[in-house]
């Protein structure tokens, strides 16, 4: 008996039925549509790959960086196999069509979604996310290799090496991380030669009251500190040559001082910012430096004793772990961002951040259900589970009244 291919109802397209698992759960269609409208990128006419599908595809792309563009799209569309007759083959748009669809979308909607949704997620019950009543966050920057294309090299540049230049162009980025959940948020990227504190200036606008932000000494300058301390409490390391005269010794051995933006202001004692200074030595620790100096906006030594803050500062390394998750375990070792144009590099980079957030959100839910610290869960295992399960989630038409949830 002859078989006929099952058909969708009039007005539906096969690309409206996609299996998205935790991606769609984390980034609901309503949010995607709103971001597309705000950036003027919503699809005006029907296409094989409408804008909202491309957004989900960009996120899925970084979950399967070892696979071709078409194979990633095939994986994304596998959830509609039940619509087809046995042995039928799903038609997947070619590489050229995928590139055109991504170019139409651009990077603005992806960054818009990132800024809207990617935020700290720890609850009061989340283990390891708090110091007293403060939500712990850290600030740091890194670089990432991108495809060795003429346009990318011209737009972003590449680091020097002993033989002239490195093998790949690079982007530079700065992020905040919620220490307890490893959620990277407020991320901003730039060309390789961008000064990290310049990127941090915009990143720090994502700080909120009730946070305690940790940062290394490379980030301190008076202007950045002055802007950041109006948004949250800070605990930053500073260089040993920064002038910090002791103005008042506190009971725990720390002391109050004042920092200024210029020598002229210092001479006239104007426009200064009062800080608390904590100095300590790590005895018996290999490779420890002779002296560590921390500045904090918490001037009450009883509210946050110096010994506790000194120990707390070293939790700043949580962001190193989060960056390693992003660059090694999710992207893959020795794998570069594969987009061949600057605009698509930015798109792919923010898609990488969205995928990391979706995974970390799932891990946070699992940690809460088991009442454990999210740090005890394996990020690598979570990535493998999501990759394995993504195409097996039930298909839900995103045009439904409630969207995908």
Per-residue pLDDT tens over the stretch 125-149: 999 899 999 999 999 999 999 999 9
Q: Return the bridge partners of 258, or none.
A: 274
pLDDT at 91: 59
pLDDT of residue 62: 85
Q: Residue 78 has what DSSP assignment?
A: G
What confidence score (pLDDT) does residue 351 get?
Answer: 95
Name the stretches of the chain with pLDDT < 50: 1-9, 11-19, 79-85, 88, 90, 391-405
The DSSP H or E segment spanning 161 is: strand 160-161
What is the DSSP secondary structure assignment for residue 330, as one 8-state letter? I
pLDDT tens digits, 10-39? 544 434 434 456 677 888 888 898 999 999
Q: Crossing angle for the helix pair 51-63 and 29-38, nearest 10 degrees?
A: 110
- Determine how β-strand 292-296 pairs with β-strand 233-237: antiparallel
For residue 70, the model assigns a pLDDT of 85
Q: What is the pLDDT of residue 401?
A: 39
Query: What is the sign, positive or negative, of the torsion defined by CA atoms of 153, 62, 8, 32?
Result: negative
Q: How far apart are CA 205 and CA 228, in angstroms?
A: 7
Helices (H), 268-378: 306-313, 318-324, 342-370
The pLDDT of residue 61 = 87
Q: Residue 403's pLDDT is what?
A: 35
């Amino acid at each position: 008996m002859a078989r006929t291919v099952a058909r969708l109802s009039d007005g539906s397209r096969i690309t409206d039925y996609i299996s998205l698992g935790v991606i769609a759960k984390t980034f609901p269609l309503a949010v995607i549509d709103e971001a597309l409208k705000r950036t003027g990128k919503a699809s005006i006419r029907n296409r094989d790959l409408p804008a909202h599908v491309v957004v989900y595809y960009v996120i899925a792309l970084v979950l399967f960086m070892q696979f071709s563009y078409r194979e990633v799209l095939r994986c994304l569309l596998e959830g509609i196999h039940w619509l087809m007759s046995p042995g039928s083959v799903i038609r997947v748009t070619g590489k050229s069509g995928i590139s055109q669809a991504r170019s139409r979308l651009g990077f603005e909607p992806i960054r818009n979604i990132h800024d809207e949704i990617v935020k700290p997620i720890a609850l009061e019950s989340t283990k390891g996310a708090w110091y007293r009543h403060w939500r712990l966050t850290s600030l740091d920057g890194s670089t990432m290799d991108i495809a060795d294309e003429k346009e990318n090299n011209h737009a972003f540049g590449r680091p020097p090496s002993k033989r002239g230049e490195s093998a790949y162009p690079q982007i530079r980025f700065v992020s905040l991380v919620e220490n307890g959940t490893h959620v990277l948020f407020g991320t901003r990227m730039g060309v390789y030669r961008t000064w990290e504190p310049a990127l941090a200036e915009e990143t720090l606008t994502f700080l909120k009251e009730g946070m305690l932000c940790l940062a290394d000494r490379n980030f301190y300058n008076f202007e950045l500190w002055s802007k950041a301390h109006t948004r949250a409490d800070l605990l930053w390391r500073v260089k040993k040559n920064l002038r910090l005269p002791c103005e008042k010794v506190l009971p725990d051995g720390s002391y109050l001082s004042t920092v200024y933006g210029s020598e002229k202001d210092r001479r006239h004692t104007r426009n200064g910012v009062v800080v608390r200074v904590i100095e300590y030595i790590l005895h018996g620790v290999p490779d420890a430096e002779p002296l560590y100096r921390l500045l904090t906006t918490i001037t009450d030594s009883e509210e946050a004793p110096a010994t506790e803050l000194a120990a707390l500062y070293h939790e700043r390394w949580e962001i190193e772990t989060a960056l390693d998750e992003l660059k090694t375990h999710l992207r893959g070792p020795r794998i570069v961002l594969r987009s061949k144009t600057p605009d698509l590099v930015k798109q792919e980079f923010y898609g990488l951040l969205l995928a990391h957030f979706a995974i970390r959100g799932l891990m946070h839910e699992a940690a809460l259900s088991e009442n454990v610290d999210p740090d005890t869960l394996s990020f690598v295992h979570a990535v493998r589970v999501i990759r394995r399960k993504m195409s097996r989630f039930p298909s839900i038409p995103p045009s439904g009244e409630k969207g995908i949830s």
